[in-house]
Amino acid sequence: MMKRRKLRVEDISISYIIKENKQAEYTIIFIHGFPFNKNMWEMQLTSLPDNMAAIAIDIRGHGNTTTGHGFFSIDVFARDLLAFIQKLEIRKSILCGISMGGYIALRAFEINSAPFAGLILSDTNSVTDDNAGKLNRFDTIQSLLKQGRRTFSLNFVQNIFTKKTLTEKLEVVD
């Protein structure tokens, strides 16, 4: 059974979905990519066997997690994650991150590997963006600020889904 919860950690309130199991040896922690939120992991959470524990979190400023001081970086996200794990007293976890979530997982592991039994990394990178990547990210942020979420979302959806998914799997696109 999954539950939706919030937890105050330092300067933010973290929203998460938890599939509890007190007897589980590990807790899998799912970390979403940009611009998604914890809901992208619902099918994975429901598909896990009953003997497993798992959490999907909204990172700072995404989904229902608050922005706090408003400064976003992979380092800040990773430190939020570590504080979250400590606050919930999770002894051993496996981080599962996709895209930006993978960046966060790697950085958290780099800061303090003790709470982690493993990493699952999908569609991510272990090196810093080059200048072209940084400029593209900056342009994306500027476009989002100037044109708003709707314009960004419409363009983003066209880039991440195939034409077949866009026409035949509207529930996935939604």
pLDDT given at position 154:
83
Which residues, other chains included, contact 129 with Cβ-Cβ below 8 Å and sequence gap of 6+?
137
Q: Sheet harboring 2-9: ordered strands across?
A: 2-9, 12-19, 53-57, 27-31, 93-98, 116-122
Packing angle, helices 100-111 and 74-87, rounded to 10: 60
> Could you tell me the CATH superfamily of domain 2-128?
Alpha/Beta hydrolase fold, catalytic domain (3.40.50.1820)
Give dist(CA 166, CA 66) in Å, integer.
31
What pTM, to 2 d.p., does this model score?
Answer: 0.88
Question: CB of 60 within 8 A of CB of 72?
Answer: yes
pLDDT given at position 45:
96
pLDDT given at position 147:
86
Give dist(CA 22, CA 35) in Å, integer.
32
Instruction: Summarize pLDDT for 37-95 with one digit per residue, the tens.
Output: 999 999 999 999 989 999 999 999 999 999 999 888 899 999 999 999 999 999 999 99
Give dist(CA 168, CA 84) in Å, integer.
38
Using pLDDT thresholds of 50, 70 and 90, give the confidence band for residue 146: confident
Listed by start position, the domains of the chain span 2-128, 129-174
